[in-house]
Amino acid sequence: MTIQGTGWKHDLLLALCAMLVVLAIHAISGFPTIADLGADNDSMLRLVEVRDLLAGQGWFDLHQYRMGLDGGFVMHWSRLIDTPIALIILAFHALGAGAAAAERAAQIIWPLSLYGLTIFVILRASRRFAGADVAMPALVLSTAGLFFLGIFSPGTLDHHNVQLLLTAASLWLLMEAPFWRPAALLSGLCAGLTLAVGMETAPYVAALGASAAVLFIFDEEERLTARNFGIGFAVVAVAVFVATIPPATWGATQCDAFSVFQFAIAALSGFGLAAIAGLSGRSTATTRLVQTLALAIVVSAVAIVFFPQCLASPYAGMDERIHTYWLNDVVEAQPFLSVAVNQPKLMASRYVTPFIALLLIALQGRSRRLHREEAIAGVLLGVAFAVSLWQVRGSTFSVAFAVLPLSTWIAGIRLQASAAQSWRVSSRIAAAWLVSLNATWAGVAVAAQSVAHRAPTGPNSDADHAVTCGKAADFHDLAAMAPTTVLASSNLGSAIVMFTGHRALAGPYHRNVGGNLAMLDAFMGTPDAARAVIEREHVGLVAICRGNTEEMSLAQDAPTGLAARLLKRDVPDWLEPVGTTAGKPIAIYKVRLNPGAG
């Protein structure tokens, strides 16, 4: 297999050009994803979290005090993402920019920088996967695929883009390990960091670690790969644990965020693999297999004995009403069948190209033994695709990883065309390009849906119209009012906290159980029940966004509840409309006779 150790400057330049083209597209259109953040609640709350950090909130204090019940709740996010965003804002402050301009700069620079770096990583991984020059198809497919994923758009400050970059980098570096000495160590570092950022990447990290171990089991020459990967993975676990967890809570287990559980498993598995590989010497495959299985048994035993609560489904203990009225409507948490039935455009753009890529690897495996790089990428792509069948969020990774076999396929057909030009080969090239672009399949789905004249089956079944009221101007009137607690649907919570000085009772986060249940009790209960909740929680204002599908869903299931009445403009006498509600994106109602408000 040809070693592609050169050309990184060329790939970096290509990635930079792609990033600048996308930047120009967004700039010409006025940065629409910043002007209207829509349903991007996580990016809004991330910016609020950064603001709080810059305003003096403690490094270890992850409370979101302006959301939920009185006192707020502790977020499960990592300061590792807050830090670079805050540094960008501070840098522009130092250059004389105002707060709004500095934040806007961070909203543009941060996701687009990650976009360019991810394209670069995919270009390098594609070269290694193919063992040939596949730069052009890899560039086009990665640029287009990542663009339509939307996680690198300006304004996107959520952590999923960082996780994709780190996971893709870990894959590429593991593929590079035999040819570049520091690669395996860096691969382990990236794997540890992506896990520290969020638990969503645990399946991919496990696949990468297992790949490093299996390579060592079958080939003693991979000893350094396994040793260095394990060291990098464990060292990051130690560093993150010390840097982001306050000493007072080192013994507290958090299943949804980096804590002693993740630290113990990562350190034990990482240092354990490094020890086995480092002390193995000239051992047999059987010996290495037995040692690795023993390590896996020890790690599993530690998890079962000391952290059994983290082995259940991540949503096992969730209140059934929150599951029904929030989780079931979170697009990224939907399983494949739900997406296929309700959102064919999303299904086509997220599942078809990874499936084709898996078929290409399988066909190669039937005709010959897969190369080392093909096997590693195939395992990670297969795991990502399997995760996407459970929750559509996994397709973010499978779409990106699919670029490797797809670009290799296109490059192979192009070589055939250069050797023997004919209309058949040219047609094959065109067809390969078309089927490898997820935008093609999204267009096919839209066309098929329009021909069938199919309408959304329910208020939450159309991802393109999931929420309205995502612009700062929508919250202008609310922001002008004295700070208090606002009762609104959960998918308005982050916007209320970002655009106003109020506290939002509800917010789309699984740790905000009390606030979300209070919102459901108020909006779905009778007016008297709603008033009791409002008085108990010292709510001063009620806000309704009439195009918000969450409110439509609550009204549909509770036709006599407060949300349904307000949508029909049937206002209880203890609520007073603020100004005119006609033509306003958000209707605001002030609570009367509520001395505890504010």
Could you give the strand order of the β-sheet that contains 503-504, starting from the edge strand earlier in sequence? 503-504, 485-487, 539-545, 586-591, 575-577
Query: Cα–chain-centroid distance for residue 356?
Result: 23
Determine the Cα–Cα distance for residues 236 and 492; give it in Å rounded to an integer. 36
User: How would you write the pLDDT of the chain (598 residues) with one tens digit per residue?
Assistant: 443 455 889 999 999 999 999 999 999 999 999 988 888 899 999 999 999 999 999 999 999 999 999 999 999 999 999 999 999 999 999 999 999 999 999 999 999 999 999 999 999 999 999 988 899 999 999 999 999 999 999 999 999 999 999 999 999 999 999 999 899 999 999 999 999 999 999 999 999 999 999 999 999 999 999 999 999 999 999 999 999 999 999 999 999 999 999 999 999 999 999 999 998 777 899 999 999 999 999 999 999 999 999 988 766 667 778 877 777 777 777 888 888 888 888 889 999 999 999 999 999 999 889 999 999 999 999 999 999 999 898 999 999 999 999 999 999 888 776 666 777 777 888 899 999 998 898 888 877 767 665 544 454 444 443 457 888 999 999 999 999 999 999 989 999 999 999 999 999 998 999 999 999 999 999 888 999 999 999 999 999 998 888 898 899 999 999 999 999 999 998 999 998 766 788 999 999 865 444 4
Determine the Cα–Cα distance for residues 326 and 510; give it in Å rounded to an integer. 9
DSSP, residue by residue, 261-308: HHHHHHHHHHHHHHHHHHH--S--HHHHHHHHHHHHHHHHHHHHHH-G
Query: Cα–chain-centroid distance for residue 294?
Result: 34
Alpha helices in 319-420 (DSSP H): 320-325, 336-342, 344-367, 372-390, 395-401, 403-419
Determine the Cα–Cα distance for residues 227 and 212; give it in Å rounded to an integer. 9
* DSSP single-letter state for residue 539: E
Which architecture characterizes domain 467-591 according to CATH?
3-Layer(aba) Sandwich (3.40)
Long-range pairs of 211-214 with CB within 8 A, sequence gap ≥ 24? 211/174, 211/375, 211/376, 211/379, 211/380, 212/174, 212/184, 212/187, 212/188, 212/273, 213/273, 213/292
Letter for the amino acid at 208? L
Determine the Cα–Cα distance for residues 142 and 405; give it in Å rounded to an integer. 12
Q: Are 546 and 564 in contact (CB under 8 A)?
A: no
Letter for the amino acid at 40? D
